[in-house]
Amino acid sequence: MSEKAQVVLAMDERMNDESEIELVHHNSRLGSADDDDGVAGDRDIGLATAEAKPELKRPPMYKVLLLNDDYTPMEFVVHILENFFSMPREKATQIMLVVHSEGKAVVGIYPRDIAETKSEQVNLYAQENDHPLMSSIEMTD
């Protein structure tokens, strides 16, 4: 039986770089046989590992807002909502009217990269079509 301490690190798909491994020291177990707990020979070497609970955080989500203006045709806004936000025509029309009367509306909620990309795509597409329509993003509370 070696006196050297050996640590068995176990990582699985639930763990990430910030996951912690908790070391549990077993006293007076030297010479114990391998057991069937899935950690090879932990009792042989006096150390076993217990996985700390992986702390999985959901990514922060961002709202994509559509802003009103006086010039973009309503039909163009409906087209945007159908094609960039996969809304059926009826819902797209309702949301367009909310933006028109309230000044803005949330048209989708996504992880940051996706929200940024959607908003940029909408702004670019509106610009290419010579409409002043703008969207922006905002972190959810």
The residues of the shown chain that bind ligand TYC, judged by CB under 6 A, are: 66-70, 72-74, 77, 96, 99-100, 133
CB of 62 to ligand TYC, least distance (A): 18
Instruction: Check: CB of residue 141 under 8 Å from CB of residue 66.
Output: no
CB of 120 to ligand TYC, least distance (A): 16
Nearer to ligand TYC, 15 or 134 (CB): 134
Of 39, 40, 45, nearest to 25 by C-alpha is 45
Q: Which residue is nearest to ligand TYC (CB)?
A: 99
Nearer to ligand TYC, 19 or 68 (CB): 68
Instruction: Check: CB of residue 78 under 8 Å from CB of residue 96.
Output: yes
The torsion angle over the Cα atoms of residues 20, 26, 30 and 32, rounded to 10 degrees, is -90
Chain position carrying tokens 């908003």 = 119
Nearer to ligand TYC, 29 or 104 (CB): 104
